[in-house]
Structure 1
Amino acid sequence: MLKVGSVVWGVRDVPRAIAFWTEALSYKPLRPPSPDWAILVPREGVGVQLAITQVSSEAHDHQRHHLDLYASDRESEVERLLRIGASRADWRYPEGADYVVLEDPDGNRFCVIEK
């Protein structure tokens, strides 16, 4: 079973984005952020995580946002998603990556992460 774990939001300025989105959504950092990455969660209650990541691209010419889908059995879910129309993205993975990058039928990328 898949669930939305995070909406990953690509930004040019991580501290500025943290300041904006924590105020806009009443969120807080899950743990101390790094200069290029932060995970924000609701201050109270439950909700989808917002992962802020630094990108070098401009918003108008590159996809900067995507979903991270959490799976208890990543490989089974990847195979299921491929059967229903997803495709594998051309992606260079770091060693030990815990995720697989796929594309939906329209070419929008998303990640399936072992959780």
Structure 2
Amino acid sequence: MLKIGSVVLGASDVRRAAAFWMDALRYVPRDEIEDDWVVLRPAEGPGVQVAIGLSGTPVQAHPRVHLDLYAGDAADQAAEVERLVSLGARRVDWDRYPADPDFVVLADPEGNRFCVIDTSHG
């Protein structure tokens, strides 16, 4: 049986990306952070790992794969968006928002897009 072990993100600065995602997700390095690779894991308990590898590939404006981070409700979503922005994320002027979105599109300091989802949204 297969299961997802790690989601891998590309970065031009692995250490900068690792610092952001460790703070954002409260993850810790599984092993020593290298200049070209690191695997992050939850600080407590099980969960999907996030690996960050050195990449020279440009960021996609409309990536085919991205992370969805779940928030409990609209207030939690708003608080998490502000926390992530304070850590170095930036809001993305997303041209594909529906009329009543349950998600906010952000980019990490490397430009990788991700969403913060209001899981209570109707």
TM-score scaled by length of structure 2: 0.49
| Structure 1 position 65, deviation (Å) | 6.1
Are 1:38 and 2:34 matched, yes or no?
Answer: no
Q: Which runs of 5+ in 1 are unaligned?
A: 67-115
Between the two proteins, the alignment pairs up a number of residues equal to 66
| Structure 1 position 30, deviation (Å) | 0.3
Q: Which residue of structure 2 lines up, in the alignment, with residue 57 of structure 1?
A: 57
Percentage of identical aligned residues: 49
Within 5 A, what are the aligned runs for 1:1-115? 1-60=1-60
Whether the 8 Å CA contact 1:26–1:43 is kept in 2: the answer is yes
Q: Which runs of 5+ in 2 are unaligned?
A: 67-122
What's the secondary structure of 1:17's corresponding residue? helix
What's the secondary structure of 1:60's corresponding residue? coil
CA RMSD of superposed structures (Å):
2.2
d(CA) in 2 for partners of 1:13 and 1:64? 21
What's the secondary structure of 2:3's corresponding residue? strand
Whether the 8 Å CA contact 2:13–2:54 is kept in 1: the answer is yes
d(CA) in 1 for partners of 2:37 and 2:46? 21
d(CA) in 2 for partners of 1:64 and 1:32? 29
Cα pair distance change 1:55/1:64, threshold 3 Å:
farther
Cα pair distance change 1:64/1:4, threshold 3 Å:
same
Compare the two structures and name the one with the higher strand fraction.
1
Spell out structure 1 runs of 4+ moving beyond 2 A: 63-66
